[in-house]
Structure 1
Amino acid sequence: MTMDTITLPKSDITATRIALGTWAIGGSSWGGTDDKQSIATVQSAIDRGITCIDTAPVYGCGHSEELVGKALKEGGRRDKTIIASKCGLNWKTDGTVFRDASPARLAQEIDDSLRRLQTDHIDIYQLHWPDSTVPIEESAEALRKIRESGKVRAIGVSNFNPEQVKAFEKVCPITTHQPPYNLFERDIEKDLLPTLIEQNIGTLTYGALCRGLLSGKIDRNRTFSGDDLRNSDPKFQPPRFEQYLNAVKELDAFALVNYDRTVLHLALRWLLDQKGVSIALWGARRPDQLDPVNDVMGWSLDEDAKAEIDRILDRNIKAPVGPEFMAPPLRTEI
């Protein structure tokens, strides 16, 4: 099956509508990683026709970028790949992450990322989180200069609200915004997504499977080890955990009866069918986790199906909660 592609606004960048997300292969916040398997996952994604790989320095304090760089260097895969990376976060020696979008930090980060990724340019360079200790205009100007230097092809932002998007774009054109968005986390529908559509800004939505909840592979007996962020995700704690699992069970049955698919396929297809969604990030750290990718292509959900999906969610989830727990602190808060 041929992968669907899209040309992103204000750029000449064309990428597949499914991208590989590489937060988990960085190791931190996901209970560790296997380097050999992680490299194989990146290479498998490219070989399957996925052309966009999303990473960030903060994923494993540089480790994810290093693994992506190694994976793409082998077999000449860099020329087939759109690399999306990020900036604007820093970390202490103990691994504590905090926001830092100062011009000096951004200037350092781009060179560090290019070195780790073993490339002379990054295709989409995104400010990872807004930093209220630095005027947005200063960060935007710094990134505009980085783009003009030829080190990046397009600038994006992530986790910005509509007002922050508009302030940033007065200084530097935005090609993409990367917000959290999935069947269970839909706050961006209220005002952010309409703003992005109005401003002609593409999206690289993250969290398509909601930390694995929508994979259909997690049951109520599942536990998470070490620093796995799901230990602090309210969705994975009682009583919400049971509610979300019940919703997954119903969604899986709906997908089977109506499309001969699973809840995983349904979650990705729903996301790709939403107005304003350009690209959906699909996190994986083993090649076999990418096996379902072809079954997401070649079909769509009509309005009746979307309405029934909403009814399933309303029946089961009585105390919905978003991804707010993931927001990193400011420098002044640590």
Structure 2
Amino acid sequence: MRESQLGDLTVSALGLGCMGMSQSYGVRADDSESIATLHAAIDAGCTFIDTADVYGDGENEELVGRGLAGRRDQVVLATKFGFKRPASASAVPTVVDGSPAYVAQALDASLRRLGVDHIDLWYLHRRDPQVPIEETVGAMAAAVEAGKVRYLGLSEVNGETVRAAHAVHPITAVQSEWSLWTRDPETVVLPTLRELGVGFVPFSPLGRGFLTGQIKSPEDFPEDDMRRGLPRFQGENFQRNLDLVAQVQSLAASKGVTPGQLALAWLLAQGNDVAPIPGTKRQTYLRENLGALDVTLTADELAALDEAFPPDAVSGQRYGQGGMDLVGK
């Protein structure tokens, strides 16, 4: 397994995102298959495991914890905190809480659900606009001093926030969406991270499945699939984005690989400070994703992909407006 360097933390070049095992993409997977997928990833050297306390209202951390029983020392375990679900249907919608009091509360809850005594990489899932980032990161740093966390990360933040946080305590990695069809981080965030020596962890590196070439219609999604509510998967945006993916399919076919493998290979070619975490709940897709590690792209092939998917080519926002308001720009 190739390795990536996130600050001082060494991880497998390809990680495993576990969110879809518990939520978001239609019918929940069988837990036994999810755990078998987790074990297969570890056996293959894909040992950078990513979850969050909000996935499945905590159930995903519990699932990952069961899967890691007896194998904790073989992985780099990452989780996130910050989102708070409403306590009841009549309560306010999901909010972000970065207050020092909630930092400590969320950490202990994650440790309990995961069944571990420490977390290797702990992210703030979104910045709380009501709390200075210095206060949130200061409280997170206390968890490092207590030995409950090894390294700190941030998710979906801008360059200014990274600088302010990094001045309080070293930030090891920033996790945000990055792929051929989400290239926003390349303009400001990524250059800032490289100046500071911070790694980048792209989530949804396959464009929430779009870049695999297997999605042909919004009707392909189950009724409870979150993608039905995302602008990029709706109306005219869907067809325009489908036309873009056709170019990736053509390039992949000419190279003898799958479109998903080509998309992951493009990200892996961006530097050894990048560690994508494609999510899957099935062993078959895990094996396909791991095949991207064997794909080498030439300068001409990288240029062709850049031309096929230039920044701003994709139609539609990543989230609805409420979600976009929480994304650092």
The normalised TM-score by structure 1 is 0.90
The answer to whether the aligner puts 1:82 opposite 2:82 as a matched pair is: no
SS at match of 1:261: coil
The one-letter code sitting in structure 2 at the alignment partner of 1:33 is R
- Counterpart residue number, 2:171: 174
SS at match of 1:168: helix
* Unmatched tracts of structure 1, length 5 or more: none
CA contact (8 A) 1:158 1:177 kept: yes
SS at match of 1:156: strand
The one-letter code sitting in structure 2 at the alignment partner of 1:183 is L
1:193 to 186, 190, 195: 190
The Cα RMSD (Å) is 2.0
Identity %: 38
Equivalences for residues 28-43 of structure 1 within 5 A: 29-34=24-29, 35-43=31-39
Equivalences for residues 1-334 of structure 1 within 5 A: 3-9=1-7, 11=8, 13-27=9-23, 29-34=24-29, 35-73=31-69, 76-94=70-88, 96-220=93-217, 222-257=219-254, 259-275=255-271, 277-313=273-309, 320-325=315-320, 327=323
C-alpha deviation, 1:136, in angstroms: 0.9
The one-letter code sitting in structure 1 at the alignment partner of 2:47 is T
C-alpha deviation, 1:117, in angstroms: 0.7
C-alpha deviation, 1:311, in angstroms: 2.6
C-alpha deviation, 1:276, in angstroms: 6.9
Q: Deviations over 1:191-228 (max 9, x none)?
A: 11100011100111111011110122211263323442
- Cα distance between partner residues in 1 of 2:98 and 2:273: 26
C-alpha deviation, 1:247, in angstroms: 1.9
Q: Deviations over 1:125-150 (max 9, x none)?
A: 01110111111111011001011100
Q: Deviations over 1:47-78 (max 9, x none)?
A: 222111000001111011000000110xx221
The one-letter code sitting in structure 2 at the alignment partner of 1:166 is R
Q: CA 1:115/1:237 → structure 2, altered by over 3 Å: closer, same or farther?
A: same
Q: CA 1:216/1:154 → structure 2, altered by over 3 Å: closer, same or farther?
A: same
SS at match of 1:283: coil
Q: Deviations over 1:283-308 (max 9, x none)?
A: 00112111213421234223321221
Q: CA 1:236/1:277 → structure 2, altered by over 3 Å: closer, same or farther?
A: farther
Dislocated runs of 4+, deviation >6 Å = none
Q: Deviations over 1:241-280 (max 9, x none)?
A: 11222222221121121x2111111100001111475200
Aligned residues: 321
SS at match of 1:203: strand
CA contact (8 A) 1:123 1:152 kept: yes
* Unmatched tracts of structure 2, length 5 or more: none
The normalised TM-score by structure 2 is 0.92
CA contact (8 A) 2:26 2:222 kept: yes
321-330 or 149-158: bigger deviation: 321-330
C-alpha deviation, 1:319, in angstroms: 5.3
